[in-house]
Structure 1
Amino acid sequence: MDMKAMVSLPDRIEDEEHLEEMLAAPTPELVHDLAQVEGDIIVLGIAGKVGPTLARMAKLAAPNKRVIGVARFSEPGLAERIESWGVETIKCDLLDEQAVSRLPKVANVVYMAGKKFGTNDDPSFAWAMNSYVPSVVAREFRESRIVAFSTLCVYPFAPIVQHGWDESHPAGPLGDYANSCVGRERAFEYGSRKWGTPGRLIRLNYAIDMRYGVLVDIANWVYNNEPVPIATGHASVIWQGDTNAQVLRALRYCTNPTSPLNIGGPELASVRMVAEEFGRRFGKKPVYEGTEQPDAWVNNTLQAQRLFGYPRVPLARMIDWVADWVQREMPQHGKPTRYEVRAGAF
């Protein structure tokens, strides 16, 4: 494997195949860290937007390890595509305790399952996915390391001038979704303390793909001449490939008991600045709606920077890639992040 070729940054992401390759490209640092971590890897909840490329990256970085992806696999062809990368798949409903108990108990778990959008329609299901399932997984995989995805929404809004909360700030969630995510963290924390399970709770800022993410939301508003809401005037964004690499590297940096780790961009991106950049590329003048507020869901990623260094893809390059992708009207997931929503209702 030519690592320099794998991590070089092109001027343009040509198509979805190229994008998938970029999102899954491992760094030499990831290869090194996974070599220090004993055992195979299982990804629970692999079928979301991030899971497939994360698992593919793990297999590329550690080809001698088994990498197993678990999900219901309701999307036709997804399991087959994942298997084409050398990742094993197991169909399993994580709400079924007996099914979870039959999963292979490998040494390393990346937990990605959860429910966000539609929480208001059925809060009980969101709580089951976000709090009940983690308690089952914590028990069944108590002999493993568990790196679990969480969210920056477990924090209260932070003053922009302070650049967001660090991991020592107490949770102060808003709405059913964020509260149920605190439940997820507490379930893994309880399991870690009860059984001595090492882990990390990944409080993720907004990951960026060409097909979704905060930058795509803003680009679409500008491109389609729609008002850009700016009450939430700043957001922390990080290339999804950098997210994948940092989450996988966290397997080497688990703590006992488990502890939170903020992952996101080093800087806070100004929504107005980003909109103006897209407007310049599209030849359009952005129209704004609302007034910037002094706080938002933002957090401080210094601890992750100390562990992993700076993300590989800078904000400017992400803006360039997204602008080009949107202007060419390339495929998108059609799933807005709702980052601008300030009431905690998704």
Structure 2
Amino acid sequence: MQTVEELELKLSEPSERLIRDVGRIKGDIMILGLGGKMGPSLAKLLKRALDKSGTTKKVMGASRFSNESMYNELSNFGIDCYKVDLLNDGALKGLPDAENVIYMAGNKFGTAGNEHFTWAMNAYLPGRVAEKYKRSNIVVFSTGNIYPFMTIDSGGATEKVRPLPIGEYAQSCLGRERVFEHFSVKNGTKMLLYRLNYALDLRYGVLLEIAKKVVSEKPIDLSMGHVNVIWQGDANEYAIRSLLHCESPANKLNITGPETISVQWLAEQFGEHLGKNPIFENRPAKTALLNNASRSFDLFGDPLVTLNEMIMMTVEWIKSGGEEIGKPTHFQERKGDF
């Protein structure tokens, strides 16, 4: 895989299990925060799945759409797109109703020094959205950052682990969850809190960041010595299918890959395939931000793209000089300063 076109085609290719499940979803779907890293490919995946299922449900999406070409691309794909600032209450209220909402809006990067905007996006806006779409099923994108660090041999935090967020970004994400939970109880709105880490495609993500450091012979920090990852296409599929598992009070679901992965091992794999000797600094801590997604596998089945496939696709992407988005995950961060 060497081109964006090939990558987008793979990300938006629906599985038979997704096609089956979208046929069971009742009503139109609105995606709020459509213009982020995952939103465009999720919308295309959903539209293709609906078309293959033979249903005529609408796919709608709202975003600022600072990238005009993205607005045009998605509109031409058959997505009903709305250019709005979701923090503008009038604009939010003016959006069409929908039986189903996938909420992807939020702020992470640049939190330090801009904390007020992060809290407005991550904790104030959810209340406005919950009131606007009180009669909808809502899948709320959240993060595994709300959990405490877990020991390497723990298998990661399950949904039963009490949140203990580190830093203002993670605290604001727990705020997002709590506000949505409040309105789920108050209004009886069916919701699912979708706790994700770390999704990737070939233009961004943990694997690309590690591989690039191997190629450039820059030191790789091992202090956050273990990670979880999941292919963005699988994460998007799970998000869509989660619309069938919304509950009141809000359901909670961890989403990531099945492995607890050593960062050093990943770097060594890339070194072998790219002809470089990785350089390391610091020693792995006994804890890391780790997520246990076994419950999601019981609901949806295992991810379709394996870790080895992700590694090999990343190698090919780097060798071919593939495009990059330029939004680092900061997966090494242990103090919560994003």
CA contact (8 A) 1:242 1:312 kept: yes
Counterpart pick for 1:335 among 306, 311, 327: 327
Regions of 4+ moved over 4 Å: none
Taking the aligned partners of 2:297 and 2:185, their CA distance within structure 1 comes to: 26
CA contact (8 A) 2:99 2:136 kept: yes
CA contact (8 A) 2:245 2:251 kept: no
Matched, 1:26 2:14: yes
**Structure 2 partner of 1:119:** 111
**Structure 2 partner of 1:41:** 29
**Residue 236 of structure 1, CA deviation:** 0.5
Matched, 1:59 2:47: yes
The answer for unaligned runs of 5 or more in structure 2 is none
Secondary structure, counterpart of 1:312 in structure 2: coil
Taking the aligned partners of 1:162 and 1:68, their CA distance within structure 2 comes to: 40
CA contact (8 A) 2:2 2:320 kept: no
Equivalent positions of 1:190-269 (< 5 A) are 190-269=182-261
Matched, 1:143 2:135: yes
Secondary structure, counterpart of 2:68 in structure 1: coil
**Residue 328 of structure 1, CA deviation:** 1.8
Taking the aligned partners of 1:34 and 1:253, their CA distance within structure 2 comes to: 12
Question: Between Structure 1 and Structure 2, how many residues are aligned?
Answer: 334
> TM-score normalised to the size of structure 2?
0.98
Counterpart pick for 2:173 among 171, 178, 181: 181
**Structure 2 partner of 1:172:** 164
**Residue 315 of structure 1, CA deviation:** 0.1
Taking the aligned partners of 2:25 and 2:307, their CA distance within structure 1 comes to: 31
Matched, 1:325 2:317: yes
Secondary structure, counterpart of 1:62 in structure 2: helix
**Residue 76 of structure 1, CA deviation:** 2.6
Taking the aligned partners of 1:291 and 1:224, their CA distance within structure 2 comes to: 21
Deviation larger for 226-235 or 326-335: 326-335
**Residue 25 of structure 1, CA deviation:** 1.1
CA offsets per residue over residues 111-164 of structure 1, 9 Å max, x none?
000000111121000000000001100011000000010000000111111011
Secondary structure, counterpart of 1:192 in structure 2: helix
**Residue 83 of structure 1, CA deviation:** 1.0
Secondary structure, counterpart of 1:260 in structure 2: strand
Taking the aligned partners of 1:290 and 1:84, their CA distance within structure 2 comes to: 49
The residue type equivalent to 2:141 in the other structure is: F
The answer for unaligned runs of 5 or more in structure 1 is 1-12
**Residue 102 of structure 1, CA deviation:** 1.1
CA offsets per residue over residues 55-91 of structure 1, 9 Å max, x none?
1111111132100010010113110011121111001
Counterpart pick for 2:295 among 276, 300, 303: 303
CA contact (8 A) 1:223 1:327 kept: no
Taking the aligned partners of 1:115 and 1:134, their CA distance within structure 2 comes to: 12
The residue type equivalent to 1:104 in the other structure is: P
The residue type equivalent to 1:96 in the other structure is: N
**Residue 14 of structure 1, CA deviation:** 2.7
Secondary structure, counterpart of 2:18 in structure 1: helix
CA contact (8 A) 1:198 1:255 kept: yes
Matched, 1:89 2:77: no
Aligned-residue Cα RMSD (Å) equals: 0.8
CA contact (8 A) 1:148 1:202 kept: yes
Secondary structure, counterpart of 1:94 in structure 2: coil
